[in-house]
Amino acid sequence: AKPLKASESALSTDEKLTSEDDITSYNNFYEFGLGKGDPKSRSGKFEPTPWTISVDGMVAKPREFGVDDLLAFPLEERIYRMRCVEAWSMVIPWTGFPLSALLDKVEPLGSARYVAFETVVRPDQMPGQSGYFQSIDWPYVEGLRLDEARHPLTILALGLYGKTLPSQNGAPVRLVVPWKYGFKGIKSIVRITLTDKQPPTSWNILAPHEYGFFANVNPAVDHPRWSQASEIRIGESGFFGANRRPTLPFNGYGADVADLYAGMDLEANF
């Protein structure tokens, strides 16, 4: 991990940070395995450099970005709450830059309505992608509406805790959308495509009744198998007095993002 310089952001929360150890050892990254510890313990072979992201589709100037191109954007530290769909949460100091800055470079066409994302496929480096049992039809894909993608809170993260991302957290570059469940934050991105149709998303394909396209954090809409009304903050809830805290609509970012969904039925569009 290389140190990264970044400026502070008014969009950061001042909540207590989750420890670096918890953030880097309690992960869902099925490319490396289904267990929470797998991404850390089974990502040793993964090579996040060299790396290129191609940005294509409905854009005036399709192009590729290397890691150095990404690091050249003005980096900010963004301390965000991260709410996993599994009802646990963390507070993570990301280093990154707004996705909109990247989109500006490629000049999306007026017809573009959505942004599709794709994770790398490297069975030789990612044990969850090889072998007899395959959990997901690779590559992992995600998507946002263009206005969501352009929202100032939406960032591409290149680091956490002031250093480049560890492999288990989605090196070298991942998406962070803090008002949505964590699985929207697609990791190790190799392709970003602007499109006019709602793109398919991996979890929605796998279990459409459990994971919607929007996946906005919403305490009022339960996951079919558990309540989303409360959450456990990783590292803070001890064994006794497990302080479940109430989950906030849009993960507490409602004042910034609720307008994006004005007039939408959030129970139908979960």
List residues near other proteins by CB under 8 A: 22, 25-26, 30, 34, 36-37, 86, 88, 132-133, 135-136, 206-207, 210, 224-227, 229-230, 232, 234-235, 237-242, 244
Nearest distance in Å: CB 206, other proteins: 7
Contact 156, 102 (CB under 8 A): yes
Between 56 and 86, CB nearer to other proteins: 86
Between 109 and 207, CB nearer to other proteins: 207
Between 26 and 161, CB nearer to other proteins: 26
SS3 content of the chain, % helix, strand, coil (to 5): 20, 25, 55
Nearest distance in Å: CB 32, other proteins: 13
> Residue 208 contacts by C-beta under 8 Å, 6 or more apart in sequence?
none
Nearest distance in Å: CB 216, other proteins: 19
Q: Give residue for tokens 């963004």.
A: 78
Nearest distance in Å: CB 165, other proteins: 19
> Residue 53 contacts by C-beta under 8 Å, 6 or more apart in sequence?
64, 65, 70, 173, 189, 190, 191, 192
Nearest distance in Å: CB 224, other proteins: 7
Between 27 and 164, CB nearer to other proteins: 27
Between 63 and 245, CB nearer to other proteins: 245
